[in-house]
Structure 1
């Protein structure tokens, strides 16, 4: 039977963690109590803190002598991530804690596959939970009272969370044999027409998942890839890269494209919407950019046109990741424009900036049997470009 891993710091939360484990057992589940104490020895658990610490990439010695609590929490989070990743009997993970333990446990939870139940009872769950949840299906439950002893409220909240985790572990949702293979796609407002045309074609054979390229959207798409829930990606919209490199509000992480590198999935990509950096309302644009070419997309979104030098950096970043991909890859360059507003007569039409992007990708490209860089004398929004995306994906995916 898949088990419920109950995770927390036994040196300070032993009573609460043991209660959670008891409630898991009462609900019919099998708990595994995991100690992640970083300051002093915790009480006995099914898995001692020293066992978890030994999974740190540098060994348990990496946690020894760390007087700074923040450093210790960060190191234990790395160890817990590796520990949970090594287990094959997890049906659900339940964490309890305040700010430190929430940061520790949720970092490990975010690295677990989509679909594996993750519940975090936390004192910070009613605030900004984005840093803890990230691109995952992580459930956070506000503890209402601090997790500092058992009382009428904490027993109810922790008990509910334990029963929820046990219920999910005992009633795993089966994968339907009728489901089509999953396909991840990235989209933004200015690439919608292209994405829509591709989606309509690919829905005949695939379950298509569209992700809005808002930073978290790209991370979510790649999380699905890492979790084995998609059979490939058509990554038309890579606009999160400019925001990462230049300072926009929808940035990718340095791991953008990392899931494709790791999973070797069939991948067809392009440079959709890399002609822009995204900011909020006009008044929120950083002072150093106020004299740049700005375009009001709507009341809440202001776009800044990327320069030739910025486009070179963007191209270099993307091609450096593409060169590391070992799976089947086709990357398509639309030489007549990369977004709906990068076309003749549109506000971001700038052939010089686009040329810098394309040249950076050409010069940085490393030829390999599995990878092909395809230049097309088309605009990204033209139906013929969408057809080429579909054709190339079907060629490399072989269905």
Structure 2
């Protein structure tokens, strides 16, 4: 029988958890309730006690009782994540569901994040509303997140329906689809893109697919590139066509639409695994910010509105010096052969002469620093034209094919000539 783990505090959320068990088991799926309560009141209705979770991490719960609430939450977050990872590897659970506020969300999603992409994970949470971001909830995993609408203070007309939907979603996935991603026989290439490089990147995807390669597009707006890097690290991707490295620029500003903490993994995890790599400079020349969060010196800046709320802002020359050096520093650490593609007429759309984000001095600074990369493992290749064009994207795909051949991933029989 399939089993779904329910993670929750079996003291304050006992009624909600009992209801979740009832709903899941009514659908012919076993429920395994894991208690993560940290308060002084006794828990009930669990299958796995908090004491057992703590002991699995090598600590007696009695030793935790004198700790502060924050210390208990921090400990239980790591402990339950490790416990769930262990029982998943032992094939004792097939999915996870949880419902709660911030404390429960932090602990439950930490456990969910330990499981592979494809394994059903559903979190109904008070955190998924307002100006909060989803980064802390989903990280680089496929956690289905449902706004709770109201707080979980018992069962009422709202919480009953939200919980029912969350449980039905998890049961449906466990019964009909949910399983970890598995690498098939086809060669898989990750391709990075965003709206401003979409034409070129999609042309590359189409060309790779025409040549028998399975291409996966990753949207580089704070997390997409990091997810691609993690999949490469996990052996799910055979090659990376990193056309859009914009997240590395945005990382320097510690904010904006495309900022994400996991940008630190860009050009890192895939490189550590020595995955065949073709790099380019898509979006290195701009940042994106909402109108109420504009950076300083806007009176000096060239920018255009991307939509009613967000502007695309060209870097200033001094910023281009700094952010490009960060890119160069990562490229200089690569210790195996890769290709670096440079366009001659813009790193995204709207950047050619006469267009809104044309700023020749900034482009020259960026490309000048990149052309001076001294790493002997990096082959610098210039492709005429703008990166965000069909012709440019097709040529980039051909260089990816060349790289895969040179690394022995595919044979010479694959030909784009």
- Aligned equivalents of 2:172, 2:194: Cα separation in 1: 37
Q: Is the 8 A contact 2:24 2:167 kept in 1?
A: yes
Which stretches in structure 2 are left out of the alignment for 5+ residues?
411-417
Q: Is the 8 A contact 1:199 1:208 kept in 2?
A: yes
Q: Is the 8 A contact 1:179 1:207 kept in 2?
A: no
| TM-score (ref. length: structure 2) | 0.76
**Paired residue secondary structure (1:119):** strand
Match runs of 1:1-399 below 5 Å? 1-40=1-40, 43=43, 45-53=46-54, 66-69=67-70, 72-86=72-86, 87-88=88-89, 89=91, 90-125=93-128, 127=130, 130-131=133-134, 132-133=137-138, 136-143=141-148, 146-150=151-155, 154-155=159-160, 157-172=162-177, 180-204=186-210, 205-219=212-226, 221-222=228-229, 225=232, 230-246=237-253, 247-253=255-261, 254-257=263-266, 258-261=268-271, 264-281=274-291, 284=292, 286=294, 288-300=296-308, 301-322=310-331, 329-334=338-343, 337-350=346-359, 352-358=361-367, 360-361=369-370, 366-367=375-376, 371-376=377-382, 378-381=384-387, 385-397=392-404, 398-399=409-410
Residues 101-110 or 177-186, more deviating: 177-186
**Paired residue secondary structure (1:10):** coil
Give RMSD over aligned pairs: 3.9
Which stretches in structure 1 are left out of the alignment for 5+ residues?
none
Q: Is the 8 A contact 2:249 2:324 kept in 1?
A: no
Residue 26 of structure 1 and its aligned partner are, at CA, apart by 3.1
- Aligned equivalents of 1:117, 1:333: Cα separation in 2: 41
User: For residues 250-281 of structure 1, what are the alpha-carbon distances to aligned partners after superposition, in whole Å with 9 as ceiling and x for unaligned?
Assistant: 21434342552465533322111211111235
**Paired residue secondary structure (1:288):** coil
Q: Is the 8 A contact 1:194 1:383 kept in 2?
A: yes
Residues 153 and 201 of structure 1: CA distance in aligned 2, closer, same or farther (over 3 Å): closer
Q: Is the 8 A contact 2:249 2:286 kept in 1?
A: yes
Residue aligning to 2:413: none
Q: Is the 8 A contact 1:35 1:42 kept in 2?
A: no
| TM-score (ref. length: structure 1) | 0.79
Residue 93 of structure 1 and its aligned partner are, at CA, apart by 0.5
- Aligned equivalents of 1:270, 1:188: Cα separation in 2: 13
| Alignment coverage as a number of residue pairs | 392
